[in-house]
Amino acid sequence: MAHIISCFEASNTLRERAKRIIPGGAHTYAKGDDQYPVLSPGFIARGHGAHVWDVDGNRYIEYGMGNRAVSLGHAYPKVLRAVEREIKNGANFTRPASIEVACASAFLDTIEKAEMVKFCKDGSHATSGAVRLARAVTGRSMVARCADHPFFSTDDWFIGTTPMNAGIPKEVQELTLSFKYNDIQGARSLFKQHRGKIAAVILEPSKGDEPKDGFLYRLRDLCHENGALFILDEMITGFRWHLNGAQAFYDIEPDLSCFGKALGNGFAISALAGKREFMELGGIEQREKPRVFLLSTTHGAETHAMAAAIATIQVYHEEPVIEHLMEMGELLRAGVSEIAAQHGLSEHFYASGFASNLVYGTLDQERMPSQAFRTLFLQELIKRGVLAPSLVVSYTHTKRDIRKTLDAVDGALKVYRKALENGVSNYLVGRPSDVVFRATNRFVAPPAEVPTLMPELQRRAPQRESDFHSAGSSFTFP
């Protein structure tokens, strides 16, 4: 039987300092304490492949993979070697570096439906650059975004549509409209209601649900019939659905598309790509239309990040990354479904989505989505050495990792079953996690309360790094 992880002493010390000097205690809301159980690692010290170690030395099989940014695995050797070679020559210069041309060429050779590309550091800049460009092209102000897709940008045009819209003028909020995925009639109604005012439609090609009845084609045609641009956000689908992007998987050509996350295997690089006729408006040669301030950031072309992207793209071309992600994801999905059925939980717990990008659903006694049951499940996985805010696999997840994970799922769902029968509060330590987008905060139990809440766990030996061989030998790269 695996040791039960119970020691978070160093994490709790860091939590106390972090919340005093960092708003939210983390620089990414999705990584904040409010997103995790009280009994959870607060800080990660390092990662190798599909495993991470927290600052207390606890080891986990990880499935968040840097919020889906790490597709090959943590500290992937081929990527690190490329970064180390490049960074020795300097990271940033007054004029462009030659690697900028090499990276753009590698990207466009892969994302074949795009004609030009410009790089930056994060997805928000890329999507907001696409929105600004669409507004410039059309001379219109309004944008329609898919309401089923949870995040597009940190900028006002998107955040203004969420409950967390403090500080965003109402006039800005009203410029962004919403429609549902696979609802072509809903999108058509928006164009009819706001005739001649919508500059662009932006959506992910898929969040896991497949486009029905030619939805993507019909939506693109609807955009063009109404003089709007069709923008695909491929932050997640890019380099997970298909080598050439989900736009190749679904054979749909967007006007503009945005990539990031897995593009650099965790290194900060993102891309805005699209048709030449639009992208050139952000250049210095076209003279017929006003210039567009497309993307221009001091750190947007850091050489080591571009080296990471080139190396990552090369691995995708040379090795069966997509196939492996699909295989591991399908094994995980099948195993989770079988275990849930064995515990009589098929109507209360499930894995869903594209195989390489699985998420799980947690339902309460009334079969309604439940943060408390989600937190309980995550708590029980963490105890058993699995850190899984989602079920997103990497190229370095092995069948052995999947087997161990399914053992942990089995143990977690045993507790879940009991919680359905006896009440979740009898098994969850502390408060439930919360959603990121909320208008106000709720009470969060301070980390200092954790030791008094877990006496039964303190009697169990924690899973420490010393219990294992060195990190470098704990897995084999495919």
pLDDT at position 97 over 60: yes
Q: How confident is the model at residue 477 (pLDDT cuts 50, 70, 90)?
A: very low
pLDDT at 133 over 90: yes
The answer to whether 406 and 63 have CB atoms below 8 angstroms apart is no
Share of the chain above pLDDT 70, in %: 91
Same domain, 57 and 135: no
The C-alpha R_g of the chain, in whole angstroms, comes to: 23
Specify whether the CB–CB gap between 408 and 386 falls below 8 A. Answer: yes
CATH number of the domain bearing residue 367? 3.90.1150.10
Cβ-count burial of 115 within 10 angstroms (0-12 exposed, 13-18 middle, 19+ buried)? middle
Each residue of 170-182: pLDDT tens digit? 999 999 999 999 9
Residue 253 located in a structural domain: yes
Between CA 300 and CA 121 the distance in angstroms is 5
Q: Are residues 222 and 281 in the same domain?
A: yes
Average pLDDT over residues 68-84: 97
- 452 pLDDT band, cuts 50/70/90, is very low
* Domain co-membership, 287 together with 171: yes
Q: Are residues 367 and 243 in the same domain?
A: no
Domain-embedded: residue 445: yes
Burial 299-323 (b: 16+ CB within 10 A, else e): ebbbbbbbbbbbbbbebbeeeebbe
**In terms of domains, do 53 and 117 share one?**
no
Is it the case that residue 466 has pLDDT exceeding 60? no
Rounded Cα gap, residues 359 and 206, in angstroms: 14
Give the tens place of pLDDT for each residue, 364-421: 999 999 999 999 999 999 999 999 999 999 999 999 999 999 999 999 999 999 999 9
Domain count for the chain, please give it. 2
Q: Is residue 311 domain-resident?
A: no
Are 146 and 290 found together in one domain? yes
Q: Is residue 331 part of a domain?
A: yes
Looking at residue 457, its pLDDT comes to 38
Q: What digits encode the pLDDT tens for the residues 311-339?
A: 999 999 999 999 999 999 999 999 999 99
In a domain, 268, yes or no: yes
CB 175 within 8 A of CB 208: no
Looking at the whole model, is its pTM more than 0.75?
A: yes
Q: Averaged over 78-101, what is the pLDDT?
A: 96
Using the predicted structure, report yes or no on whether residue 124 has a pLDDT greater than 70.
Answer: yes
In this predicted structure, which of 40-54, 83-97, 147-161, 244-258 has the lowest mean pLDDT? 147-161
User: Which of 269, 301, 333 is the endpoint of a domain?
Assistant: 301
For the segment 203-218, the average pLDDT, to the nearest whole number, is 95
User: Is there a single domain that holds both residue 339 and residue 209?
Assistant: no
**CATH no. for residue 176?**
3.40.640.10
Same domain for 109 and 241?
Answer: yes
Tell me which amino acid residue 148 is: D
Looking at per-residue confidence, does 300 or 387 come out higher?
387
In this structure, are residues 356 and 329 in contact, taking their beta carbons and an 8 Å threshold? yes
Determine the structural domain holding residue 258 and report its residue range.
92-301
Rounded to whole angstroms, the Cα distance separating 313 from 119 reads 15
Q: Which of 90-94, 203-207, 252-256, 445-449 has the lowest mean pLDDT?
A: 445-449
What per-residue confidence (pLDDT) applies to 423? 96
310 in any annotated domain: no
- 194 in the same domain as 109: yes
- Whether residues 261 and 356 share a domain: the answer is no
CA-to-CA separations, 30 to 36, 196, 307, 350, in angstroms, rounded: 9, 37, 27, 21
- State residue 3's pLDDT score: 56
Let me know whether 120 and 240 are in one domain: yes
DSSP character string of 177-222: EEE-TT-HHHHHHHHHHTTTTEEEEEE-S-SSSPP-TTHHHHHHHH
